[in-house]
Structure 1
Amino acid sequence: MTAIRWAVNLPLPGRALRDHRELIEALPGLGYADVWTGEGGGIDAFTPLAAAAAWQPALGVGTGVVPVFTRGPVVLAQTAAALSELAAERVMLGLGTSVPAHVTALNDIPFAKPVARLRDTVRFLKTALRGDPVDEEYETFAVRGYRPPPPAVRPPKIILGALRPRMVRLGLTEGDGVITNVLGAGDLERVLAEAGPRPPDKEIVVKLFVCPTEDAAHARRTGRAFLGWILNQAPYRAFHDWLGHGDRLAESRALYDSGDGTAAGLALPDDFVDALWIHGSPDQCRRQIARFVRPGVTSVLLFVAPTPELLTGRHALPDVLARLRPDGA
């Protein structure tokens, strides 16, 4: 099995972005090869990666993911090219459709033909990041007269946020791989089965949400706040229907549709929350994380949620990160 690359999502809990430098410098010694970001709420995806690339050149950087609607295709190409010039290690440009709550509600951009928009963006970027001029009309946008800069010595890989079969196949054929999330270890088996044998040089990244605390009430409360929202966004409803969980989520969905997002989170079964929002002591979390180390998986990305122990200093974040990574993985 290919050695797993371990990664953490920025920003890390309990510190401002400006205070990340010392920890980012230490990450390779803790067993982490990459840092990633997402983009929706919170801060943007690229600023933390630029800082990380400057602070610790031994780290790869990746986005998991940035929406293809909220940045124009040429802006995405320019940003990826600049990051590739700055980073000494690999750059993974993770793209996704996002959800209407981010694209339309926050940015007033129509959420139209999301899969086609993602496919067209990949095709454009593959051309532009090779340094080839682009003057073409795609199904969902047109780019006229773009002359990109010369390609980077190490061009970025383009991977797609993928949940169901159509997107998985798109990521492994036209893209350089996929990143998946909000799923349990058993669910991962079905996604990997759909992917089939991993083509050479393609990436399969699994993003896990980890809340390393023995305060189960805190962990489930914060997990429900996140899961009660995301599981009720259309792409994740369809994903969990495909996984066979629709019946178990029916009560949460009805409450969310009635306008009660808090109750939607509270209606999620405990074992469902526990599977998607890993919690317990760092050692207990490590054993749960190890269940996602499967043939075909190339990277495991840990989103570490704030905990009482981390926020009060009872647990040191570097020690927690070192203990979360399964030994020998």
Structure 2
Amino acid sequence: MELGVSLVDPSLSSRQLTDVVVRAERLGYHAAWTNESIHREAFSTLAGWAAATSRIRLGIGVAPVYIRSPMAAMMGAASVAMAAGPGRMVLGIGSGHPLIARSHFGFDLSSPLEAVSDYLKIVRELRHGRRVTHHGKVFSVEGARLGLHAAGPIWTVVGALGPRMMELAVHEADGVLLNWATASHLRSTATWLRGFDLGAAFFHIAAYVRVAVSSDPAVARNALAEDLGQYLRHPAYRSHVEKQGLAPDDVSAAVNHLGVAGDPQQCREALKPYLSSGLDELVIRPVPVGGEGIGAAVEALAPAYQ
């Protein structure tokens, strides 16, 4: 199994975050991911990482469809791919959150599955250099073609919680990125996904796992619970957690099963069920804990220790 790391900490400068990515590459991580919400713009962030690294895969996990059009996303992905070199760019696409789509971006995300489906169909043609006409329910283009040739292939993965979005990923993308799941849920999901008849097609199954590392385990656990609580304000995540047999209103109990918290040794031990869950890639997402930066977690959980 590959080990990736997701680096999102608005308190760090772009230079500081890039320094963490450089350290992650030296420590043997296979991929460095960032996401988009209402903080850093992802493509410019990855361009900075590309300039400072030479091997580590660079992924957006994920860019919500309401932030930019499919054409704009492919322009950004191709630009990063040219800066990074062949085979290093991964474009993650997701529906995002309807509340944020409406309140922050003025976008009506009443049909998340259709929005992602349209997006993937357009991106698939653009990344292969083809001219595309697509009249969708949410996104449409007429004779669109990307005027830039990326260096090597650009993977697409889909951020998915439920089976319909996962199945869409199987048919339209190169992989899936799972989130806020127990180790047992990841294991059963990976088994289910591998049951599809993919033939010789490549399909990458990855998942985030939140990790809060601190010399004080109680402080780490509180930080993880706070992060989970932010997500549980959104109906889709509440439903997702509930379907795993957990109570979304009882964050203090749910946090025991959704992520890892403690001192470095405790976290390394608690990660073992995730590392044996049948994924292709486990993406460690350090949660900022007080004054202890995410860089310390990247060091403590490096592949050499797993």
CA separation in 2, counterparts of 1:317 and 1:80? 26
Post-superposition offset of 1:86: 1.3
Post-superposition offset of 1:175: 0.9
Q: Does 1:133 align with 2:131?
A: yes
Q: Which residue of 1 aligns with 2:96?
A: 98
Post-superposition offset of 1:16: 1.8
Q: Which residue of 2 aligns with 1:108?
A: 106
- Residue 78 of structure 1 aligns to a residue whose secondary structure is helix
Q: Which residue of 1 aligns with 2:74?
A: 77
Post-superposition offset of 1:274: 2.6
Q: Which residue of 2 aligns with 1:64?
A: 61
Which of 244, 266, 269 is the equivalent residue of 2:252? 269
8 Å Cα contact 2:134/2:142 also seen in 1: yes
CA separation in 1, counterparts of 2:215 and 2:23? 26
In structure 2, relative to structure 1, the CA distance for the partners of 1:229 and 1:5 (3 Å cut) is: same
Larger Rg: 1
Tell me the alpha carbon deviations over residues 284-310 of structure 1, each in whole angstroms, 9 at most, x when there is no partner.
111212211236411111111222462
Q: Does 1:298 align with 2:295?
A: no
CA separation in 1, counterparts of 2:114 and 2:239? 18
- Unmatched segments (≥5 aa) in structure 2: none
Tell me the alpha carbon deviations over residues 139-166 of structure 1, each in whole angstroms, 9 at most, x when there is no partner.
3222023221254231211110111111
8 Å Cα contact 2:34/2:61 also seen in 1: yes
Partner amino acid, structure 2, of 1:111? L
Q: Which residue of 2 aligns with 1:25?
A: 22
Partner amino acid, structure 2, of 1:291? P
Partner amino acid, structure 2, of 1:233? H
TM-score, L = length of structure 1: 0.84
Post-superposition offset of 1:61: 0.4
Aligned residues: 302
Post-superposition offset of 1:47: 1.8
TM-score, L = length of structure 2: 0.90
Q: Does 1:288 align with 2:286?
A: no
Post-superposition offset of 1:11: 3.9
1:179-328 paired onto structure 2 within 5 Å? 179-197=177-195, 199=198, 200-245=201-246, 248-249=247-248, 252=249, 267-270=250-253, 272-294=254-276, 296-308=278-290, 310-311=292-293, 317=295, 320-325=297-302, 327=304
In structure 2, relative to structure 1, the CA distance for the partners of 1:149 and 1:47 (3 Å cut) is: same
8 Å Cα contact 2:175/2:205 also seen in 1: yes
8 Å Cα contact 1:85/1:152 also seen in 2: yes
Q: Which residue of 2 aligns with 1:120?
A: 118
Q: Report the RMSD for the aligned CA atoms in angstroms.
A: 2.3
Tell me the alpha carbon deviations over residues 189-224 of structure 1, each in whole angstroms, 9 at most, x when there is no partner.
232233134745211111111110142332233223
8 Å Cα contact 1:53/1:60 also seen in 2: no
Worse-superposed segment, 286-295 or 99-108: 286-295
In structure 2, relative to structure 1, the CA distance for the partners of 1:166 and 1:269 (3 Å cut) is: same
Partner amino acid, structure 1, of 2:241? H
CA separation in 2, counterparts of 1:33 and 1:301? 9
Post-superposition offset of 1:328: 7.3
In structure 2, relative to structure 1, the CA distance for the partners of 1:9 and 1:68 (3 Å cut) is: same
Identity, % of aligned positions: 26
In structure 2, relative to structure 1, the CA distance for the partners of 1:194 and 1:233 (3 Å cut) is: farther
